[in-house]
């Protein structure tokens, strides 16, 4: 039977509809397969990252506890075990970061009393942001002194975000319960502030953000903490972007405008010196030369000279801690590509400078 001419367009239309439906089903199947493949790859990648003990470079807010003291608004949580910036962090029963190996481990069965009790004070550089317990300045100083036959016990009471007045309060609290023969403060540029809670950590924050940025930070922080691959991908994208548009880490320093904050900071250092004089403790300030020196040597030298000049005016002994900058490249100084905190190698050089200062 022949098909009536008037039905031919209708049949062609139906044929096209069937082709479209088949194409749509095929496309949907491909999308489903591609999505499942991506999810499977992500799951395998996540399992692999966790198996190889990869950790996102995030900060755990649980590492801190609030403290009812205006000069010391927060501390490290006692007996904390967790991760900060991808590395394992442990604190003792007082909330101080553990020095590893400990003095007792190094001098086991020798029944000795330390010839020196050296207390390191500072912010994230002393704390060891991005470093494991064994890589911090304090830990490397403990091993270095032991290797030279020196009977020194090293304590680390540095905490990320601390400024001069926080350090004074921390030293006072420590010396109420413990003793020391030497106190070394590693002085950082963020000591020049009138804030006693520089990052708002005592208020439950982990960084200084605007309201919208803080909300985004909480969301991404939660995502990174639960899905490690998301941090790895994000970090990779940021690394590529930084190569296209590198950030210069210059220090804008104006001594005249900064004098008020310099005076405020040094008042706290004078308080630490007074504590030391009361207890016959040797006090030294190490002015830390940051990796930003490479981007703006002139600005940094102006800053260092101004701080040293003001410290000398008040009779406070100081030195510029700079061997890591003189010996390493910027990439070697940084703990990671986008983090200016001292690397393990830089921390080792800093430990050598501190040992020389307290040994003299």
Q: Could you read off the pLDDT of 44-88 as tens digits, one per residue?
A: 888 888 888 888 888 888 999 999 899 999 999 999 999 999 999
Q: Determine the pLDDT at residue 209.
A: 43
Q: Determine the pLDDT at residue 349.
A: 98
Q: Determine the pLDDT at residue 210.
A: 44
Alpha-carbon dihedral 332, 100, 140, 320, rounded to 10 degrees: 90
Nearest CA to 64 out of 135, 129, 160 is that of 160
Measure the CA–CA gap between 129 and 63, rounded to whole angstroms. 12
Q: Determine the pLDDT at residue 276.
A: 96
97 pairs with which residues across the strands?
A: 91
| Six token digits for residue 134 | 């064994």
Q: Determine the pLDDT at residue 152.
A: 97
Q: How far does Cα 299 stand from its chain's mean position?
A: 24
| Six token digits for residue 40 | 């499977």
CA dihedral over 195, 201, 207, 213, signed as positive or negative: negative
* Conformational region of residue 330, where left means phi above 0, alpha means psi within -120 to 50, and beta covers everything else: alpha
Q: How many CB atoms lie within 10 A of CB 124?
A: 25
Alpha-carbon dihedral 90, 96, 100, 101, rounded to 10 degrees: -130
Which parts of the chain have pLDDT scores under 70?
1-6, 205-217, 242-251
Q: Which helix (H) or strand (E) holds 65?
A: strand 64-66
The structure's pTM equals 0.87
In eight-state DSSP terms, residue 340 is: E
Measure the CA–CA gap between 85 and 73, rounded to whole angstroms. 22
Q: Determine the pLDDT at residue 15.
A: 75
The helix-helix angle for 228-244 and 8-51 (nearest 10°) equals 90
């Amino acid at each position: 039977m022949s098909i009536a001419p008037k039905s031919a367009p209708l049949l062609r239309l139906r044929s096209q509809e069937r082709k479209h439906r088949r194409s749509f089903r095929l496309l949907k199947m491909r999308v489903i397969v591609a999505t499942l493949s991506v999810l499977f790859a992500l799951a395998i990648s996540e399992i692999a990252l966790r198996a190889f003990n990869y950790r996102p470079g995030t900060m755990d807010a649980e590492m801190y506890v609030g403290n009812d003291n205006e000069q010391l608004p927060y501390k490290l949580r006692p007996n904390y075990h967790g991760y900060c910036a991808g590395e394992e962090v442990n604190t003792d029963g007082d909330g101080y970061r553990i020095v590893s190996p400990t003095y007792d481990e190094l001098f086991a069965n020798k029944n000795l009393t330390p010839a020196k009790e050296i207390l390191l004070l500072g912010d994230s550089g002393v704390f060891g942001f991005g470093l494991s317990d064994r890589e911090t300045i304090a830990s490397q100083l403990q091993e270095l002194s032991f290797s030279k036959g020196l009977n020194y016990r090293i304590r680390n009471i540095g905490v990320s975000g601390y400024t001069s007045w926080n350090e004074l309060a921390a030293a006072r609290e420590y010396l109420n319960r413990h003793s020391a023969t030497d106190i070394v403060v590693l002085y950082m540029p963020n000591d020049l502030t009138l804030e006693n809670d520089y990052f708002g950590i005592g208020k439950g924050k982990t960084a200084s953000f605007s309201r919208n940025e803080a909300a985004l930070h909480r969301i991404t922080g939660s995502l990174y903490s639960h899905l490690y691959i998301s941090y790895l991908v994000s970090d990779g994208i940021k690394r590529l972007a930084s190569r296209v548009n590198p950030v210069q880490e210059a220090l804008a320093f104006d001594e005249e405008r900064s004098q008020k904050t310099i005076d405020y900071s040094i008042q706290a250092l004078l308080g630490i010196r007074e504590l030391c004089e009361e207890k016959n403790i040797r006090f030294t300030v190490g002015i830390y030369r940051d990796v930003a020196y490479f981007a703006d040597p002139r600005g940094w030298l102006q800053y260092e000279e101004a701080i040293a000049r003001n410290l000398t005016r008040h009779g406070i002994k100081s030195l510029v801690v700079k061997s890591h900058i003189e010996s390493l490249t910027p990439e070697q100084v940084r703990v990671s590509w986008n983090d200016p905190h001292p690397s393990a190698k830089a921390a080792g050089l800093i430990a050598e400078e501190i040992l020389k200062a307290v040994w003299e």
